[in-house]
A and B are shown apart, each in its own frame.
Chain A
Amino acid sequence: EVQLVESGGGLVQPGGSLRLSCAASGFIISNYWMSWVRQVPGKGLEWVANIKQDGSERYYIDSVKGRFTISRDNAKNSLDLQMNSLRDEDTAVYYCAGEDVLTGGFDYWGQGTLVTVSS
């Protein structure tokens, strides 16, 4: 059974930092582009960042460039998102997701972890 389990969410003050992690089982992340996708509760989905299978390419939505860093450890089958200089508008549930090149879609999702940025 494929499982992606996110951790590291919580309450942080504006300007603070958090590091999210995603641990995969039953699923070899080295075969997939991996992404972080976020969702403000009750709102739509927003792709945040992705990273190529070997880590050689990384892309970000404009609003997080220079503040967030996506990374992966294929040996540990895990994905991270380092979030610095957090803003109120970064408050959301953050999902890790795996993209299958055969479908072009996000085939695999974690259950999400809530990040709340508030003073």
Chain B
Amino acid sequence: GAVVSQHPSWVICKSGTSVKIECRSLDFQATTMFWYRQFPKQSLMLMATSNEGSKATYEQGVEKDKFLINHASLTLSTLTVTSAHPEDSSFYICSARPRGYEQYFGPGTRLTVT
């Protein structure tokens, strides 16, 4: 149980285009999902908290107009990187919390902007 999927697992896009990443909880409902960014050999950096039916809460320094988050249902949250630039290239990971303390992570999406 507590499986989280992400799609796509990797994507290459050209500078200036937008990319959408999906995060799904497969066997549980999650009122809250989280989006992280991770650089090589480093820890996870929380970007935003996604709440079903309401606006996402962004961490300080994260541009909400650049990283659009939509939590349309209890099993789906999407992250759209708008007008992507090479510096947005990174490993993006989502997590979902079925209840209580524990978060379960997706397998991540490798974004490369050329």
Decide if A and B are genuine partners.
no
